[in-house]
Amino acid sequence: MSWLTEYVRPKIRGLLKREVPDNLWTNCESCEQMILVKDLRRAMNVCPHCGHHMRATVQQRLEWTFDKGEFTRIELPKAPVDPLSFRDRKRYTDRLKDERAKSQLEESMAVAHGRIGGHDAVVAVMAFEFIAGTMGAALGEAFLAAARLAILQQAPLIVFTASGGARMQEGMLSLMQMPRTTIAVEMLREAKLPYIVVMTNPTTGGVSASFAMLGDIQIAEPNALIGFAGQRVIEDTVREKLPEGFQRAEYLLDHGMLDMVVARPELPAILGTLIGQLNHAHITPPAA
């Protein structure tokens, strides 16, 4: 037998049998190109081929937004659990338990404080990974807590939205969070503190109809879906074909609903600049 059969062939077979980890590669949801997971994370979950912005977790948002990824999470007030004793395919209490185990989050919003561009800031992030970021009583409590913390620290509040709307398992109680969060925004207005909203994909339903559209500055990530009702529902209601790109961030920017569309890697610097300018405007007295 030659050295080819005794040495080379076994080595080749060993290479072919070597298992590739399942989490080494992923596919872009938009262009379907393969991407190394480590490259995707380095690019803040933005596809290097087409620029598509994939979803991000709460932890990722906070690390990307605050200076050096340093921040302090706050404990949020508890809300009544399952006040309607709701059940669909499973009990609401069981669904919450499963979601908490899967996402390692208590609810669909997390709040933290730290520094952005050298300025103190409070950040609230909606967790799409927790029941599609739906808004219930716990989210209302979290938003109020974020506003109160911003007032206590005399710091701006930045909210990252990502939601499918109101949480059906809480019925009317979920809809009551729309006026509650609006009151929290008014508290910030009275305290003369900046309120900045960053809308990510998707921002829909009761969230888009309340605190998501009340920012002093409205920002969105590229191609984010933003709207109240779905496009098909609107077309069936008005019996007309909607324009291309309707409810996408760029369309809303062109029609005056947004102040800017910012790519994710540029967001921290933009937020830092805006906070600095708004803080300066707040403390600078008007010219005589």
Binding site residue list for Zn(2+): 28, 31, 47, 50
Q: Residue 130 and residue 105: Cα distance in Å, rounded?
A: 7
CA 93, 94, 97, 99 dihedral sign is: negative
Instruction: Check if the beta carbon of residue 252 is closer than 8 Å to that of residue 258.
Output: yes
Q: Residue 46 and residue 33: Cα distance in Å, rounded?
A: 12
DSSP labels, 237-254? HHTSPPPTTTTBHHHHHH
Inter-CA distances, 149 with 17, 40, 73, 122, 159, Å: 56, 33, 12, 7, 13
- Which residues are annotated binding-site positions? 28, 31, 47, 50
Beta bridge partners of 260: 219
Q: Residue 38 and residue 233: Cα distance in Å, rounded?
A: 39
The amino acid that residue 120 corresponds to is D
Instruction: Check if the beta carbon of residue 231 is closer than 8 Å to that of residue 27.
Output: no
Q: Residue 105 and residue 76: Cα distance in Å, rounded?
A: 11
Cβ neighbour number for residue 73 with a 10 Å cutoff: 13
Query: Residue 89 burial by CB count (10 A; 0-12/13-18/19+): exposed, middle or buried?
Result: exposed
